[in-house]
Amino acid sequence: MEQEQYPNYEGLTFRQMALEDIPDVMVIEHESFTLPWTEEAFRNELTQNHFACYMVMQYLGQPIGYAGMWTVIDEAHVTNIAVLRAYRGRRWGERLLRELMRTASQRGMQRITLEVRVSNEVAQNLYRKLGFKPAGLRKGYYSDNQEDALIMWADLPERGSA
């Protein structure tokens, strides 16, 4: 049996998203979603939404993924998480989500939530692996095909632990 290969994470960095990142983020966004956000939506998140926190994951200096969340009182809501197709299936998304969760915890968040398409079993498996549990459905949530969204929640470690 062929041994599964995982990437060498040396050269992997995370940083706060800036307006200059939007063109690279749009490439990832269009490659990842049937209903991609617009450049204007990202610009508004970065400049107008004081609840928003967005990060870029870079490998060897190149953006390969991004994630965002809103932090309100003690809860974080994942708005987006995406990785370039060429980097999928090798735990890059897991690293990105772990970093987002770590950041949420550092900001004093106690819980984190997200929605995921009911058909996206790969993402659901990752979320379960990181402690997310199903908590309900949003009927017809996705406007492209009226697919339901599974709502998932996870508890975060206290700030300074884990």
Length of the chain: 162
Question: Hey, CA dihedral for 50, 73, 112, 11, is it positive or negative?
Answer: positive
Q: Estimate to the nearest angstrom the gap between the alpha carbon of 139 and the chain centroid.
A: 22
- Ordered per-residue pLDDT tens for the chain, 162 residues: 344 445 667 889 999 999 999 999 999 999 999 889 999 999 999 999 999 999 999 999 999 999 999 999 999 999 999 999 999 988 999 999 999 999 999 999 999 999 999 999 999 999 999 999 999 999 999 988 999 999 999 999 887 555
Residues 18-27 pLDDT 10s = 999 999 999 9
Place of tokens 């300074």: 160
The reported pLDDT for the residue numbered 161 is 58
Question: Hey, CA dihedral for 114, 63, 19, 74, is it positive or negative?
Answer: positive
The number of C-alpha atoms within 13 Å of 137 and in the hemisphere containing its C-beta is 8
Report, as residue numbers or ranges, the catalytic residues.
115, 127
Q: What predicted TM-score, i.e. pTM, was given to this entire model? A: 0.90
Give the CATH number of domain 12-155: 3.40.630.30
The reported pLDDT for the residue numbered 160 is 56
